[in-house]
Amino acid sequence: MILTPAKMLAGALLGAIVTSSHAQELQLSPAQKETIFSLIRQTGVAVKPPPSDIRVVIGAQVPAPTELYSLPHAAADKVPTARPYEYTIVNDTLVLVDPVSRKIVAIELQ
């Protein structure tokens, strides 16, 4: 099987989220992911654009100068397992990041 960028992105969108601190898998349903990302979009926060060369793949490290934003309280309340993560937006893609390791743990196209 050949992995194309589209297949890798699809796998990342549908796959498990891995936390870097304990290397344990965190399963989020498609409905939970949609809830998180929908609530982020609704906040209307003006996100400072990160560097244009940032790699948006699960496990990639977000550069230190990139500003990360806390999840909305409503998202953390509805999906408590996502509470420790922060986010940024890269080229119309919402990116969930472990703020300690700065590794990408989930992505969702807007």
Count of domains observed in the chain: 1
Q: If you average pLDDT over residues 74-101, what whole number do you get?
A: 91
Task: Map residue 105 onto helix, strand or coil.
Answer: strand
Rounded distance, CA 22 to CA 56, Å?
A: 21
CATH number of the domain within which 65 lies: 3.10.450
Rounded distance, CA 77 to CA 49, Å?
A: 27
Rounded distance, CA 11 to CA 92, Å?
A: 18
Tell me what pLDDT residue 41 has: 82
Predicted model pTM: 0.72
Task: Map residue 41 onto helix, strand or coil.
Answer: helix
Q: Dump pLDDT digits (tens) for 15-74.
A: 433 333 433 345 778 888 888 888 988 988 888 988 878 899 888 999 988 999 999 999
Residue range of the domain that includes 55: 5-109
